[in-house]
Structure 1
Amino acid sequence: MSFSIRRCDDADLAEWASLRHALWPNGSAEQHAEEIAAALPNGVLRGYLAIDGQGRGIGFAEVSIRRYANGSTQSPVPFLEGIWIAPAHRQHGIGRLLIDRISADCAAEGFVELCSDAEIGNIASHHAHESWGFAETERVVYFRKTL
């Protein structure tokens, strides 16, 4: 299986939005494209694509630069917002290569850590994060009170 990893640029907006929609189906791909386009100029959102040998997007990861993240030791901190690989291409190391590229880019910018999260019941994501070199730092339960 032949594929490559690259950081997204403006020309990748439609592909990034389409893959983002596969991970987060609430809202249309067009709405995702609008969100990405609005966030790109301020430099806090970055996308990475996994591309197959025919030039098609088969996965993506999205990172934001947050002012704070639970468990982080520095501020600001790069934060893995999401990662998704097309089902037919899973279990081939694509997620690891996306994380490796993101880690290298962030380290080159002077960051010393990459943070992330996963829902408490998403055990598959917990295992994936561990396999990519993440260490669990804490668990948090969020609450809401309607006013």
Structure 2
Amino acid sequence: MSLSIRGCAAADIAEWARLRHALWPDGPVEEHRAEIAAALSDGVLRGYLAVDEQGQGIGFAEVSIRRYANGSTQSPVPFLEGIWIVPEHRQQKIGRLLIERISADCAAEGFVELCSDAEIDNLASRHAHESWGFAETERVVYFRKAL
């Protein structure tokens, strides 16, 4: 299978939103489109598409530039917010190709690290992160107090 990895532009919003909705299905696709359009205008959110030979999106990754991320050594820091591959295309190293492209782009901008997270019980995500070269930095328990 031939595929390419590209950074998303305004023309990719519909495809990006479709794949994003598959990862985060709460809310309609239109909501994702609106969020992406707003975030693209401020330059904080970046999307990457894995596209097959027919031009169909088969995976995506989303990175934001955060002021801080747990375990990071510098600020600001690029943070992998989400990554998703169409199920029939998994286990073909598409996630690795997305991470390699993101890493190269971030390094070219002068960043020295890429951070991410995974829920502690999401073993598949944790394993994938490790296979992409991420190292666990710390574990955190979040708390909430209603007011």
Give every structure 1 segment of 4 or more consecutive aligned residues whose post-TM-superposition deviation is greater than 4 Å: none
The separation in 2 between residues aligned to 1:124 and 1:130, in whole angstroms, is: 10
SS at match of 1:91: coil
What RMSD in Å do the two structures reach over aligned CA positions?
Answer: 0.5
Query: Secondary structure of 1:11's partner?
Result: helix
Verify: 1:29 aligned to 2:29, yes or no. Answer: yes
TM-score, normalization by structure 1: 0.99
Deviations 1:35-63 (A, max 9, x none): 01111111110000000111100000000
Matched AA of 1:26: D
Identity of aligned residues (%): 82
Q: Secondary structure at the match of 2:61?
A: strand
2:22 and 2:2 map into 1 onto residues whose CA distance is 22
Alignment of 1:1-147 (within 5 A): 1-147=1-147
Quote the offset at 1:23 in angstroms.
Answer: 0.2
CA deviations 1:47-99 (Å, max 9, x no partner) are 00000111100000000000000000000000000000000000000000000
SS in 2 for 1:18: helix
SS for the counterpart of 1:92 is: coil
Q: Counterpart of 2:125 in 1: which secondary structure?
A: helix
Residue-pair matches, total: 147
TM-score (norm 2): 0.99
